[in-house]
Amino acid sequence: MSFYAARQPILDNKQNLFAYELLYRESLKNIFPEINDDQATAKLIEGLQFNLGLETLTQDSMAFINFTHSSLLEGYPLLLPKEKIVVEILETAKPSKKLLNACIELKEKGYIIALDDYEHSNVWVHFFPYIDIIKLDYSLTNEAQFQQILTAIKPFPQIKLLAEKIETHAEYQHAINLGCDYFQGYFFSRPEVIKSVAFNPVQMSVIKLMAEMNKPEPNINIVTSIFEAEVSLSFKLLRYLQSPIFKRRKEIETIKQATIILGNEELKRFVSLLFTAQFSDNKPEQLSVMSLARARFCELMVQTHILKGVESSAFLVGLLSLIDALVDADINELMDILPLSSEIKEAIVKRQGASANLLQLCEMFEDADWQKIETYCQNININPDKTSELFQQSLLWASERIKAMQ
């Protein structure tokens, strides 16, 4: 039986990955079963212990996990390591004396405690000495409520604010001005538009590499010459070959030899990785991971013959789908600059074409929208369980490649 968990990134005020929120999800073939919050919490903990594990899902980051009123009283958080989790008290929990005692016990044992989707009520003030984080839902909270919460927590300087469901840059800026320390949502994929884009020489070299590697028959001599003209790129290529991903013993003597050893497919992936690295300065690492994971997911969907007809463009469409967020530029202006086919540009900008269908499915997984996933899979006659496995494989693949470049 498959175990499903959605993960949503949480960033700090420098846009570095701070944690993931983990959410239990049922099998894609049974999206909304008769299951309550208590059962969901129990199944998530069981799955973390016996299936994927915290390490696999969070990759050394903290994990926010939802706990219901009864699961807190029964001590469920104690089943997970205090160093790895944030105990998130669901908004449905009732602020009783028993719950307060449970919070005091967790705090004494060293756990971090957060209040989810907080709406202020004076009774919760008794909990504030033991609370570390309060989550503000931007889809539900108005300005007056924000100010009410700020006033209430002022005597408790240890409490940090987490802004969730941030959908726009304006909301992100508002949350910063409000004093929030953590942010949850895909605000970073909707950048402010700037009027022009200027690429440095190394970035231009990577663009040239991408253009060459995207041809049906790349010219290795041209690829080699581009690498040789940029020492930093040559160094990264050699270092990449020495990573644990490739168990190679033969010594590399020339750049051309390195490109041949990698082979066209792996070289194309490496150039894509270079692209992500070069265009993601001062951006959260999670954004690079997401770009690569999208690319790999689209590629795997083609390779496993689940969907056909987009063999040459799927990887690139996935990779470039977040390029506007990576460089803070208008997507249409970027498409004018990049040497891409009209099919690829339409897939990225207009979400049209076969490759765009793969990209949209990947975005559904990112949003953990299992109802849409189920419907989509039924409409195009693909196996939802297999597709979920490919998405999880893509996340791990992307994380491994990012580490190999560091």
Residue 229 vs residues 223, 226, 270, 279: alpha-carbon distances, Å: 10, 5, 17, 19
CATH for 201-404 is: 1.10.3210.10
Q: What class has domain 4-189?
A: alpha beta
pLDDT of residue 202: 82
pLDDT of residue 316: 81
pLDDT of residue 48: 61
Is-contact 151 159, C-beta < 8 A?
A: no
pLDDT of residue 245: 67
pTM: 0.54
* pLDDT digits (tens), the chain, 406 positions: 345 566 778 888 888 888 888 776 554 433 433 456 666 666 666 666 544 456 666 667 888 988 889 889 988 888 888 888 899 998 888 999 999 999 999 999 999 999 998 889 899 999 999 999 999 988 888 899 999 999 999 999 999 999 988 877 788 889 999 999 999 876 543 332 223 355 677 878 888 887 788 777 888 899 889 888 888 888 888 877 777 666 655 677 788 888 888 888 888 878 877 877 777 666 777 788 888 889 889 888 887 765 555 666 788 888 888 887 777 677 777 777 676 778 888 888 888 887 888 888 888 888 878 888 888 888 878 888 888 888 888 888 888 877 766 6
pLDDT of residue 102: 94
Q: Where in the chain is the domain with CATH 3.20.20.450?
A: 4-189
pLDDT of residue 281: 65
Q: Where in the chain is the domain with CATH 1.10.3210.10?
A: 201-404
pLDDT of residue 1: 37
Query: What tokens appear for 250 in the block?
Result: 């033969």
